[in-house]
Chains A and B, each alone.
Chain A
Amino acid sequence: MSRLICPFCGPRELREFEFHKTLPNAGHTPFEQVYLRVDSLTLSVEHWQHIAGCRAWLHIERNPSTGEVLVCRLARSEGVS
């Protein structure tokens, strides 16, 4: 994943983006939401920001084993999809 395709800016260098966090996928208590992650070899769901670009917040799904980016869309549409 050397580049990300920003929905606004198109394909851009990875260095323009800033990783924020891996989204929790375990439990619903505040503690679980903040601290617990299910590590997966093949899927990581993350929030990134296009910090040196349009500042969009991105929802990214990628395969940590291969670096392949499976989904890169605006985080904003999360509630909608």
Chain B
Amino acid sequence: MTTRRKGARLSPETLGFTFDGRSYSAQVGDTAASALLAAGVRAMGRSVKYRRLRGVMTAGPEEPNALLTVGAKPANVPNVPATQLKLRDGLVLESQNRWPTLRFDLTALLKLGSAYFGAGFYYKTFIWPKWRFWEGLIRRLAGLGAAPGRSDLPAPSYEHTHCDVLVAGAGAAGLAAALAAARTGASVVLAEREPSVGGELEFETARVEGRSAGEWTCAALGELTRLGARVLTDTTLVAGSTGEMVLHTEPAGMPGSARLMKVRPQALVLATGAVERFMAFVDNDRPGVFLLGAAERYLARYGVAVGQRIVLFANHDRVYAAAARLAAGGLQIVAIVDTRVSGAVDAQSREIAADFAARGTLCLAGHAVFAALGGDAVTGALIGPTDGSAAAQTVRCDAIAVSGGWGPAIHAAVQEGGLKRYDETVSAFVAHDASQWRITAGSANGAMQLGVVLKQGVEAGVAAAKHAGHRGPLAAVPAASGDPAPHLEAYWRAPADERQEKNQFVDPQNDVTVADLRATLAEGFIDIEHVKRYTALGFGTDQAKLGGQLGAAIVAELRGETVPAVGTSRLRPPFHPVTLRSIAGHRFGAYLRPARVTPLHDWHVANGAVMEAMGLWMRPRFYLANGGNPTDAGIVEAGRVRTKGGIVDGSTLGKIEVAGPDAAAFLDAMYLSKASTIKVGRSKYMVNLREDGIVLDDGIVLRMAEDRFLATVSTGHADHMLSHFEHYRETEWSAARITLTDVTDAWAVIVVAGPESRAVLTSVLGSPWHDALAGLRHMDVTAGQHEGHDVTVLRASFSGELAFELHCRPVLAVGLWEALVGAGLAPYGLEALDILRLEKGYLVSSEMDGQTTPIDLGMGSLVALGNPCVGRALLDRPAFHESHRGRLVGVRSTDGKSPFLGGAQLTQDAVSAVPVGYITSSAYSPALGEWIGLALVARAVPEGNMLYVRDPLRGGDTTVKVVSPVHYDPKSERMKS
């Protein structure tokens, strides 16, 4: 029975979890990292390339090594940092990058060859016999974790919100900023990545306004709540751009109860803190090497000692205050190794050092840890003077805590559009911009002393509130005492000879060493972005949080440049790993996009229709009663329309009512031919152009009254066409009197086609319609009523048969449809519709593909009318009239039976690599008993010529003959009968 630990985040209750199949107990509030450390587990994974055994190194999202897989395959969640994973009872955790087990990893044999695995190894090695030969093996070894096969995660919630001031980070600066802003009356959202607020106040021995840091934090939180501020813990600012900030919340530290928030604040305070850096020395990746701040956090939060005998290694004064706290927590400080010469050490620090020295601690100024000793875990440290003036000595220890300074977390500031500059006093990049609405404060801004941090926080809060329009009384800066200024010395790596550099790790997550950086520079990859890509420095979850920063500094050293001259690679979002499930939110499965259905939808589904999505619309593709697949059923359905008749649901057709005294003149400008010449009660097939002369859409325009037209547009184009019309009405036609109304959903459309269509329709609509239907000529329109509701009948054909478009109110649709079926007309679907229109050479989007002009599509006579419509002028460009430009033709197989497919290229001989055109659509024609198609073929190729169909990937090579695009009933006698 282990004793209960005490820590700021722990409750006494216990819970159980498993790691690599073994059971462990933990206390409520533990992270996976703290619980495993408490249980004496050091090794938590292997590295991605060299398969070195690795332990947890940090206590935050910058963790490079201890990435775990949560849950069992296939619904596993990979790459969860153990440091961020708050435990729940029964969690199943696995280490990564090892096979079959963490201790006996066969792939670790790779380590034996690691001398050859430097940067660029894969690029250079696996070129023989060829990359594909090796790819499978390498893919199995590469990458972090294993992607899940499916997701069992519940839908995360999504929230869009806004506020006056968003403060990211609830450490000292963030709390001060949020308080100052909230006191002015501004609405404040305060987001904190950790489960509790306070930041470093959680463990620093500080006093604020005469109270302990903990008491001040509690009081601040209480006041914020009273003032109505929204305080979100477990919530990280993961990305931001153009004023929209993305917050990601995972309350249990586990994906599954996630929330993604998009916040638009009037002003933004970034108090995101700083990420502690480490320093490079030989084998600095061994389990047992920690960041100094991590050692402090594990002790304060979870009552966990990262070691019993610990060596501290730093380049600043904060290490002495930390040493005192760690010693007070029961850790034995074996040595304090300071890279600075003793003259650079603060007086107060020297006093602490003297106390430690008196108690037997080795206090060494001007020294560095050269190497971590040991195998699977640290057993000692090799410590020597940085100037090489004396031999290095070995010190026995079980942990080394390193601190190389702090890198301000400027990710959000830079992603949001800010600049950065190098601050020499902290040897780090800080945010640098003059933005009024985005203010960086505290250690994120390079401030390292509590008094300064609080002052910046208050000032940022006041400025942000003011920017959001709230002024308050001048806010007082809380008086505070805390750790001294760090007096940092820029120091990046311990001395090493060149062959040791392959064990000086710079980016542990990506196994990048000093040797890799040296080799990369020698090969000419000088720029930090090139170095990143050649070595993987700062890849993955790192994004220059831990490894990327150190790497850039060492590149600077190797190049003999300054750090600001080298810079850092781009800091990409998200700041910490976010599951794709969280990003998808509710837009998942059926909620990905809405489905539009016609009034006849339920009938189709109940009567064996196989539905197909066209844009958002669901339409019947074919009916199972006519065949088990679209090809067979389509042939049956299309054949029946020609011999007898059929009905098809045309409700998805876009319908725009254009009304007003200037409607006719407006439509004249919108279409290639004139609408003003259409008589009331008549209709016309018309084509729209884009302003550059390319065909935009086609459709039938009906004139319902002198000042009222119904323009029908393609199903997939309806939204765009409405916008297109509206744009011209609001700009060039803004003085005209026109209304535009989308009436697509106001009318259901049933197309009744075939030789029997008139008789059946007359019998269904009844005697009041007898005369109107009997006298209806091709393209005539008649309006009336049926069962008290409006009905319009247009005689027009998209099949080449005698046909009627029945536009009725949706309430009538099912009744009329069932009556038509009852009277003997069977429904047909899109497949048959496509065969019928292809037999007649009618166009769909395959032909109007955004590259064809009306001249290409055989409408030269309409162009010749000279109607000065939108796009007409640019049709006169010479290139549109050249002989190699395509024109619409029909094609049929030369042998009368071979199939060919849309998309196939056409050439003039069997070997030419220069196509003269391509097939746009094809189908088997039941009326003609062979395959027919439409194609765009160079004008120079005359009708009657044979062309080669070149379709090797689909095995569709054959030959076709160029014919008229109208395959069936060329004089349209059936349609006009």
Contacts and interface: CB of A to CB of B under 8 A. Distances in A.
Interface stretch (B12-20, B469-477, B647-655, B722-730): B722-730
A7 to B, nearest CB: 12
Nearest to A78: B731
Contacts of A76: 730-731, 734
A30 B873 contact: yes
A37 interface: no
Given A3-B264, A30-B873, A49-B723, A75 B242 contact: no
A2 B727 contact: no
B246 to A, nearest CB: 12
A75 B243 contact: no
B243 A78 contact: no
Interface string A40-81: 000000010101000111000000000100000011111100
Interface string A1-45: 111000000000110001010000000001101110000000000
B706 interface: no
A30 B874 CA distance: 7
Interface string B712-733: 0000000000010011001100
A34 B874 contact: yes
A34 B875 CA distance: 12
Contacts of A49: 723, 726-727
Contacts of A57: 726-727, 730-731
B726 A55 contact: yes
B264 A2 contact: yes
Interface string B854-875: 0000000000000000000110
Contacts of B243: 2-3
A56 B691 CA distance: 21
B745 interface: no
Interface in B873-890: 873-874, 877
Contacts of B417: 67
A79 B734 CA distance: 8
Contacts of B731: 47, 57, 75-76, 78
A2 B734 contact: no
Nearest to A74: B730
A34 B691 contact: yes
Given A3-B264, A30-B874, A78 B734 contact: yes
A51 to B, nearest CB: 7
Interface string B652-684: 000000000000000000000000000000000
B692 interface: yes
B722 to A, nearest CB: 8
A74 B734 CA distance: 11
A46 B691 CA distance: 16
Given A31-B874, A79-B734, A20 B264 contact: no
A67 B735 contact: no
Nearest to B245: A2
A79 B727 contact: no
A69 B592 CA distance: 32
A34 B692 CA distance: 7
B730 A79 contact: no
A14 B244 CA distance: 10
A59 to B, nearest CB: 9
B727 A47 contact: yes
Contacts of A31: 874, 877
Of B417, B731, B873, the most chain A CB neighbours within 10 A belong to B731
Nearest to B740: A55
A49 to B, nearest CB: 6
B743 to A, nearest CB: 15
A1 B692 CA distance: 29
A35 to B, nearest CB: 8
A67 B438 CA distance: 15
B470 to A, nearest CB: 18
A37 B264 CA distance: 33
B878 to A, nearest CB: 12
Contacts of A55: 723, 726
A16 B417 CA distance: 22
A77 B243 CA distance: 29
Contacts of B734: 75-79
Contacts of A56: 730
B723 A67 contact: no
Nearest to A18: B723
Contacts of A34: 691-692, 874
Contacts of B735: 79
A31 B726 CA distance: 23
A67 B417 CA distance: 10
A45 to B, nearest CB: 13
A77 B730 CA distance: 9
Contacts of A1: 242
A39 B726 CA distance: 27
Contacts of A18: 723
A2 B416 CA distance: 11
Contacts of B160: 13
A51 B722 CA distance: 11
Nearest to A51: B723
A34 B874 CA distance: 9
B874 A67 contact: no
Nearest to A55: B726
A31 to B, nearest CB: 7
Given A2-B243, A49-B723, A75 B873 contact: no
A74 B264 CA distance: 25
A78 B874 CA distance: 25
A33 to B, nearest CB: 8
A52 to B, nearest CB: 11
Interface in B721-766: 723, 726-727, 730-731, 734-735
A15 to B, nearest CB: 9
Nearest to A1: B242
Contacts of B242: 1-2, 14, 67
A26 to B, nearest CB: 15
A49 B724 CA distance: 10
Contacts of A67: 242, 417
Nearest to A14: B242
A22 B727 CA distance: 13
A77 B735 CA distance: 10
Nearest to B731: A75
A16 B160 CA distance: 14
Contacts of B873: 30
A75 B730 contact: yes
B196 to A, nearest CB: 31
A74 B726 CA distance: 13
A8 to B, nearest CB: 13
A62 to B, nearest CB: 12
Nearest to B724: A20
Contact of B244 (A2, A30, A75, A78): A2
A47 B874 CA distance: 21
A33 B321 CA distance: 70
Nearest to A77: B734
Interface of B: 160, 242-244, 264, 417, 691-692, 723, 726-727, 730-731, 734-735, 873-874, 877
Given A20-B727, A31-B877, A47-B727, 8 more contacts: A3-B264, A14-B242, A30-B874, A57-B731, A75-B731, A77-B734, A78-B734, A79-B734
5 contacts: A2-B243, A2-B244, A20-B723, A30-B873, A34-B691
Interface of A: 1-3, 13-14, 18, 20, 30-31, 33-35, 47, 49, 51, 55-57, 67, 74-79
